Amino acid sequence: MLWQEYLQRGLGYNYPRAKFNWTGQSIKWYLESERTTDFYKRSLEILGPYMKDCNSLFDIGCGIGSFALEFAKRGFDVTAIDKSNMAIEVLRERIRAMELDSIEAQPIAFEDFKFNSSYDIILLSYMAGLVDEANIMKVLQYTRQLVVAILPFDDIKNDFYIRELYYKLGISTLNLKQPNYQEIVDILDRKHIKYDLRIFKAEFGQPFENIYEAMFFIYHYFNLPKERWKDVRDWLNKKLIKKDDSLYLPSARKSAMVIIEV
């Protein structure tokens, strides 16, 4: 399928951007980016000193299980949930392939999950939509040692240096506004709950087979004018770098880790 046909199917500027949903294409991209990112390694390095006596993890919004698998490989008993059946099926396939028997993966939204036990660590990674006072107080009830929330640092998204492209196209970066770590910090400060805040950067770019796939990717995730495709292509050609046998779009992700010790 030509990328022009892809745009004509309804992707691009003036179409409302829905909340993130796992699809076959987004899973493919995520699995590929997982092999090149140091986000999970950096996160676990920061968490290491806090979780010396921890043995169980509840991963809320686990997606395809990047964190769940890393914790399981370290000997944790893991419960992982996500509302996407597709993401959970992929995670279950990965569990079988790795022959791990310490992960229970459930296709269920957090709002519908019934706690039957407590956990040493409860993790929310890039799940800003669940950050409200009621949910934070709820997870604190079922945490034995740590609640860990990893969230965007910036309130204006800049994944893949996308702000630069918005400036080039004359699109307001207010369209990139996103919830960030400040929302949970405000809740904790108001409730006088102590926490540690760690800010870190990690590479979380995306490999592509060619420029056409890169075009698909950018138009898939960002609202861009379809008629400006030449400008988008030119920007990508400047940003993409050759890496192994593929093209790579860098992305220095700046995150905030909020750690609550119970």
| Contact partners, residue 113, CB within 8 Å, separation at least 6 | 81, 106
- The mean per-residue pLDDT over the stretch 87-114 comes to 97
Band (5; pLDDT cuts 50, 70, 90)? low
Query: How confident is the model at residue 8, as a pLDDT?
Result: 53
Q: Return the CATH fold of 3-12+22-261.
A: Rossmann fold (3.40.50)
Average pLDDT over residues 141-152: 98
> Whose CA is closest to 156, among 176, 172, 171?
176
Q: In the chain, what are the domain boundaries? A: 3-12+22-261
Query: Residue 36 in contact with residue 248, Cβ under 8 Å?
Result: yes
Quickly state the pLDDT bin for 12 (edges 50, 70, 90): very low
3-state secondary structure of 168: helix
Model confidence at 1, pLDDT cuts 50, 70, 90, reads: very low
121 pLDDT higher than 60? yes
The pairing of strands 119-125 and 143-152 is: parallel
pLDDT at 7 over 80: no
Average pLDDT over residues 224-244: 95
Amino acid of residue 163: R
If you average pLDDT over residues 253-258, what whole number do you get? 97
